[in-house]
Amino acid sequence: MNSNDKKISLPRLYIPSNEKIVNPLSTGIKASNLSKKNTQKRIDPQFYNQQHDLNNHFCVIVGSEYVLKIIALQQSLMQYSEKFTLWICCIDPFAYSLLKEMSLINVNLLQVEELEDRELKAIKRKRKVNEYCWTLKSVLIEYLLVNYDLPSILYCDGDLCFFSDPNIIFEEWGDHSIFLTPQRDRDWVEKMYGKYQAGLIGFKNDLYGLKSVRWWKNKCIDWCSAEAEEGKFGDQKYLDYIPIYFPKVKISNNLGINAAPWNCIYNNDYKIDKTKNDIFIENDKLVVYHFACITIFTENDFDLWSLGEISIPNNILNHIYTPYLERIQFVLKQLKDKFNKDTKQFLSKKDINKAQTLYKDSQLRRKMNQSNHFMNFSMIISKERLIQGLTSYYSLENFNAKFTVWICCMDDLTYQILEKLKLKHAILIPVKDIENHELLSIKNDRSLQEYCWTLKAPLCLHVLSLYPEVDHIIYCDADMYFFTAPNIILDEWWKYSVFLCPQRSSTEIESIHGIYQAGLVGFKNDQNSKEILTWWKDKCLEYCNNQYDVEMNRWGDQKYLNHIPNIFSNIKIMTHKGIDAAPWNVILNSSSISKTDNKVFINQDELIAFHFGSMQIINPNEFDLWKQETLELPPAVLDYIYIPYIEQLNKTCHTLHNTFQKSPSSLFADQIDTTTIKNYFKYPSPHHN
């Protein structure tokens, strides 16, 4: 039952005073006379320090747009607090009527009219809604302390959510009169907007608690604007002076109290992890998180930070944001199923296309949130490259890499085989799902290889468009093999839109084929990357032949990459020699190859991924290691790179044989003219070893 219906018997005196404000610490003046608009008490404030109240009291201000968040806040208190009372001041009839109908447990409702006098009503007409709500904070706090004889009250912004027992706050608060939480933001931000957060602040019903809240109230009544000016900002910048003007102020040093995007995501470098059921920021248990600036478009679509685009680490998404979004989704379902409400009225009317940090909550996104190094790959596989493509996939799986790979299947046989293998990290895409009129119009004029090159950019665009929750996509050739988990790619890529891998080959090869490799290239899901992908797609539609065009200086899809750093911005050129290593840069450059502790090194860089381009499988034991030109392969290259890869190719063949109970011989190269083989290699059968 909503206890709001019972509170009529409680004292509710609110009598404005005409006396002027004086120095907040002057002596000889009763606490009840320290405000322009004092709330008179019938009992001396000192008495309330002796009251025995087992409840922790919280208060919040809500309008119709914050109803979902307020209910989520109340539910989090229900989960983690044994005894509490939440006082909700509703600033519009819609919020009040809905919350009253819901009869939330341990909630007392107030209508804003109960607090307003003539001066506040005049201010209300002049200020924006958010500014007026800021103005009301101190008014509400004083009103509750005085008229309901509360020992203390903790004001909470409506977008707070508790993750553990809030009693930790009250224990840290202790015998102090005032409780403040530091912003822990950048210096210039705190200088302009305040050192302390007005979204979580507490006052005791004692001498300094009342003096300070009344001082704050009068400052906010005089001025409370969302535009910072002359050392003032909203209600918040005034808090800088409270520890200066008043004694008995507790400034929290607990990182888990009022954690927020500005002190956990784009500032500081706190370690955030989960141990059993508790989330820790460094050594402090997360008590309450401030989900500021979240916009709710649908039950699955959100703007997680509407002030600008930020990159939220996956562990924070997983441990903090996902549980909160689940609460919001539960509330929406409850309103729809139990109270028969049209949930659209609780959702934002803002344009989702203008979201700054758009987030789509889905099973795929939650899977991605499991690791800060979750990687999204795309790959094009035909039956001619099926064995290599599967081996590439298994190499990622072998190193426990967290990943999803979207595989464009160029033929029905490839799709059927991969579907039967039930690859748990793969999403299969039949090529027809990507093809449009433009692609079909040039398909018959190009070889299979040329058409696959043409499809790279459309495939990446398809994934980024169809799966908006995917924050990046890395195109990977099917003949790429990973020698370790490729986490370093994300670390090196960081906040750039696109990464490119240099060929690091001979001048002759680069003059024809380009200075960057199209076999491993990454794109973030941002506007810049999409413009680059669209440009690359359009260039490949015009020309994507396996013949060097001397006049236009182009070859395949690859040489177009030369121009990307010149005409686009925010491009990362990988310098790590172990990323996209290949015969044309390892062997032709006579790189040093070594092995230490089961790790292969190219010069000083650990081998991450090797591109076995132009390698031909004649049968499970015979290969042309590089069909472009005859090379002298050093023993270390054979022993540490090629033979381990060939052994994995054999394992893939065994997997296919065991799954389909027949030899995968149809997947090997057609009859080969042995006179054209450049780098023949025969791998001994196991009984010859």
pLDDT at 442: 98
Domain boundaries 37-254, corresponding CATH code? 3.90.550.10
Band (35; pLDDT cuts 50, 70, 90): very low
Q: Domain locations in the chain?
A: 37-254, 373-682
User: Any idea of the CA torsion for 86, 91, 95, 99, to the nearest 10 degrees?
Assistant: 30
Q: CB of 175 within 8 A of CB of 202?
A: no
Q: CB of 66 within 8 A of CB of 136?
A: no
Give the chain's mean pLDDT.
Answer: 91
pLDDT at 671: 64
- Among the ranges given (170-174, 622-626, 627-631), the one the predictor scored with the smallest mean pLDDT: 627-631
Q: Is the pLDDT of residue 22 over 70?
A: no
Q: Is the pLDDT of residue 29 over 90?
A: no
**Mean predicted confidence (pLDDT) in 122-151:** 97
Q: Is the pLDDT of residue 40 over 80?
A: no
**Mean predicted confidence (pLDDT) in 107-123:** 97
Q: Is the pLDDT of residue 4 over 70?
A: no
Q: Any idea how long the chain is? A: 689
Q: Which residues contact 488 (CB under 8 A, 6 or more apart)?
A: 576, 579, 608
pLDDT at 501: 98
**Mean predicted confidence (pLDDT) in 220-232:** 96
Q: CB of 350 within 8 A of CB of 356?
A: no
Rounded to whole angstroms, the Cα distance separating 125 from 132 reads 9
E-state strands within 260-305: 272-275, 278-281, 284-285, 288-290, 295-296, 301-303
Band (16; pLDDT cuts 50, 70, 90): very low
**Mean predicted confidence (pLDDT) in 602-625:** 93
pLDDT at 665: 76
CATH fold of 373-682 reads Spore Coat Polysaccharide Biosynthesis Protein SpsA; Chain A (3.90.550)
Q: Phi and psi at residue 402, in whole multiples of 5°? A: -90, 115
Band (13; pLDDT cuts 50, 70, 90): very low
**Mean predicted confidence (pLDDT) in 376-387:** 97
Band (42; pLDDT cuts 50, 70, 90): very low
Q: Is the pLDDT of residue 164 over 70?
A: yes
372: Cα separation from own chain's centroid: 9
Band (17; pLDDT cuts 50, 70, 90): very low
Q: In what order do the strands lie in the sheet with 160-162?
A: 160-162, 288-290, 257-259
Q: Is the pLDDT of residue 263 over 80?
A: yes
Q: Is the pLDDT of residue 552 over 80?
A: yes
**Mean predicted confidence (pLDDT) in 580-584:** 94
Q: Is the pLDDT of residue 629 over 70?
A: yes
Nearest to 143 by CA among 112, 179, 176, 103: 112
Band (670; pLDDT cuts 50, 70, 90): low
Rounded percentage of the chain residues whose pLDDT exceeds 70: 91
pLDDT at 614: 86
pLDDT tens profile 394-408: 999 998 879 999 999
pLDDT at 53: 58
pLDDT at 669: 65
Rounded to whole angstroms, the Cα distance separating 16 from 35 reads 9
366: Cα separation from own chain's centroid: 10
Band (278; pLDDT cuts 50, 70, 90): very high
Band (619; pLDDT cuts 50, 70, 90): confident
Q: How many CB atoms lie within 10 A of CB 603?
A: 12
pLDDT at 209: 99
Rounded percentage of the chain residues whose pLDDT exceeds 90: 83
Q: CB of 561 within 8 A of CB of 580?
A: no
Rounded to whole angstroms, the Cα distance separating 631 from 509 reads 15
